[in-house]
Amino acid sequence: MKPLNQTSIAICSDHAGYDLKQDVILYLNDKQVQSIKDFGAWSSESSDYPDFAHPMAAAVEKGEFDFGISICGSGNGISMTVNKHPGIRAGLSWNVEIARLARLHNNANVLSLPARFVSKEEAFAMLDVFFSTDFEGGRHQNRIDKIPV
């Protein structure tokens, strides 16, 4: 896994994830991430997550960013949306172990977070493990190869 100062990250949320997204951006800036691009939402006023999720996922899929982070209230809707992109493997995580396994076993390139169900400290811990865990490969690669239809 390359260090965060050599990692580019795309991030998006809807209104429900806006506050956590802002905290995550500040946290990643403190960690000296190479680059972060915010794809929205731009406030906590009601918004539709697909409007932000599709452009973020497309940018990660094209290789413009190493990873993505998607955040909505439950994490489900935004995760479903980004996973519509064939090159995206988003892992919806609500604790550190799930975030670790999303990278280790599933080679997730997007971390999806449920803003209404995790504290910012829990989110930061998940970010730390997600961005420090390498994909294990082996038998897991065979399974990932079978995901696209």
The first and second tokens of residue 106, run together, are 């599933």
Interatomic CA distance for residues 128 and 30, integer angstroms: 12
**pLDDT category of residue 137 using cuts at 50, 70 and 90:** confident
Strands 35-38 and 8-13 come out as: parallel
Interatomic CA distance for residues 130 and 148, integer angstroms: 23
Domain boundaries, the chain: 4-145
Lay out the sheet containing 35-38: strands in order across: 35-38, 8-13, 67-72, 110-114, 90-92
Q: What percent of the chain has pLDDT over 90?
A: 91
State which fold the 4-145 domain adopts: Ribose 5-phosphate Isomerase B; Chain: A, (3.40.1400)
- 146 or 75: which leads in pLDDT: 75
**What pLDDT is stored for residue 87 in this prediction?**
95
Mean pLDDT of 32-53: 97
The first and second tokens of residue 7, run together, are 């990692």
The helix/strand count (H/E) of the chain reads as 6, 5
pTM above threshold 0.85: yes
Instruction: Please write the tens of the pLDDT for every residue from 107-133.
Output: 999 999 999 999 999 999 999 999 999
Interatomic CA distance for residues 121 and 23, integer angstroms: 10
Q: Which residues are catalytic?
A: 72, 105
